[in-house]
């Protein structure tokens, strides 16, 4: 049976909820990307500081990983949408870990338009096989619906990984 891990970043908890839901559904390990210096998730300034990090392609320093992503065959990567793309901690992750020849599912969580988030993630993951993509809209408003969608999608990814 292939090793599975879900790697994600979450500022406000929505991406965390989806990642934990998926991990339970398919028996995957979890690796949360944690910046050494986090943006304050409260108030309007989070949009300013987060957007600034995206525009300047910043790579915030991350805490040491408890698990080695290269040890896994199937990887699911999740991010909130920031300025219509993935959050900067993922840019840091991609710089630190060179994933190649892996089966990868990608997902994003958003409150409106997810822009080129999944497309940009797929570009960063060139050299791997993308076995599924999903976006989750308004997690806090439609929590039950999104939890079911996350479980179903993760199970589909697990099945895809055997092909």
pLDDT digits (tens, 9 = 90+) for 29-61: 999 999 998 776 676 666 656 666 767 687 899
pTM check: above 0.85: yes
pLDDT tens readout for residues 106-128: 999 999 999 999 999 999 999 99
CA 110 to chain centre: 12
Taken in order of first residue, the domains within the chain and their CATH numbers are: 4-160 (3.40.50.360)
Residue 74's pLDDT is 94
Residue 25 has pLDDT above 80, yes or no: yes
User: CA-to-CA distance for 17 and 28, rounded, in angstroms?
Assistant: 14
User: CA-to-CA distance for 95 and 159, rounded, in angstroms?
Assistant: 29
Which percentage of the chain shows pLDDT scores above 70? Answer: 88
Q: Which of 22, 10, 145 has its CA nearest to residue 86?
A: 10
Mean pLDDT of the 73-82 span: 96
């Amino acid at each position: 049976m292939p090793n599975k891990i879900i790697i994600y970043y979450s500022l406000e908890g929505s991406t965390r909820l989806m990642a934990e839901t998926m991990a339970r559904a398919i028996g995957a390990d979890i690796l949360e990307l944690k910046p050494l210096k986090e943006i304050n998730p409260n108030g309007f300034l989070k949009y300013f500081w987060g957007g600034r990090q995206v525009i300047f392609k910043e790579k915030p320093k991350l805490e040491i990983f408890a698990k080695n992503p290269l040890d896994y065959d199937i990887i699911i990567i999740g991010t909130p949408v920031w300025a219509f793309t993935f959050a900067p901690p993922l840019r840091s992750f991609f710089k630190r870990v060179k994933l190649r020849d892996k089966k990868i599912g990608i997902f994003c969580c958003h409150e409106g338009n997810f822009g080129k988030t999944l497309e940009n993630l797929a570009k960063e993951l060139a050299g791997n096989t993308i076995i599924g993509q999903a976006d989750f809209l308004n997690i806090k408003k439609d929590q039950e619906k999104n939890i079911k969608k996350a479980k179903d999608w993760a199970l589909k990814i697990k099945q895809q990984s055997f092909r």
